[in-house]
Chains A and B, each alone.
Chain A
Amino acid sequence: DVKVTQSSRYLVKRTGEKVFLECVQDMDHENMFWYRQDPGLGLRLIYFSYDVKMKEKGDIPEGYSVSREKKERFSLILESASTNQTSMYLCASSLSDRGVVFGEGSRLTVL
């Protein structure tokens, strides 16, 4: 089975901490994405990448950065976590319009 694997299902961090969310896909997909999901707001795109070392801002990039040093890995970084970044974070990858494959999500709580 093809997979998108997110390193942590649940994290609890303190305000001001640096947070890394890791995502790995085994499908040789060019495109990778980070979304956050909040009740009543649906999925909102934070950043995406269509190639190694390439990144594009999504709808809500503020407070986040990303890294894509290898094709299979796409990391989301919160430089200084804040309580309003408490959310479910979903990583995904895709190959054009064949559909996007999602990981199982990382639920982050910032205290």
Chain B
Amino acid sequence: GNSVTQMEGPVTLSEEAFLTINCTYTATGYPSLFWYVQYPGEGLQLLLKATKADDKGSNKGFEATYRKETTSFHLEKGSVQVSDSAVYFCALYDSGAGSYQLTFGKGTKLSVIP
């Protein structure tokens, strides 16, 4: 079956530090990949996505590249801000699996300190 593995948290960084959150996946077909963000007390919001190999998703300074050869979709940001403190979820959607649901990683909590 499908699965998503992302790095354990929590991650604590100083403001303006470089961020990487690792995400790897297992899928039976050719999935679309997503990063979602959950700010404190809120639901999940789509941060970025990539639908095929070598695509790069980007939004709000965050980037992730769909790497089929390493089955990875790592999230990066060059300079984090306090406002980026949140929980980040990697997810995949595999239409070839005949399902309509997303498979999520367990989430990585990021705390950015001034």
Assess the A40–B106 pair: CB atoms within 8 A. Answer: yes
Check B42 for interface membership: any CB of A closer than 8 A. yes
Among residues 93 to 111 in chain A, which have CB atoms less than 8 Å away from a CB atom of chain B? 94, 96-97, 99-105
Complex CA distance for A63 and B104, rounded to whole angstroms: 22
Count chain B CB atoms within 10 A of each CB in A30, A92, A94, A100 and give the residue with the most.
A100
Among residues 48 to 70 in chain B, which have CB atoms less than 8 Å away from a CB atom of chain A? 49, 51
Complex CA distance for A40 and B102, rounded to whole angstroms: 18
| Chain B: minimal CB distance from A41 (Å) | 7
Interface size class of A (residues with CB under 8 A): 20 to 34
Assess the A50–B106 pair: CB atoms within 8 A. Answer: no
Assess the A97–B32 pair: CB atoms within 8 A. Answer: yes
Assess the B106–A41 pair: CB atoms within 8 A. Answer: yes
Check B44 for interface membership: any CB of A closer than 8 A. yes
Closest residue of A by beta carbon distance from B42: A104
Chain A residues contacting B91 (CB-CB under 8 Å) are: 100
Closest residue of B by beta carbon distance from A95: B100
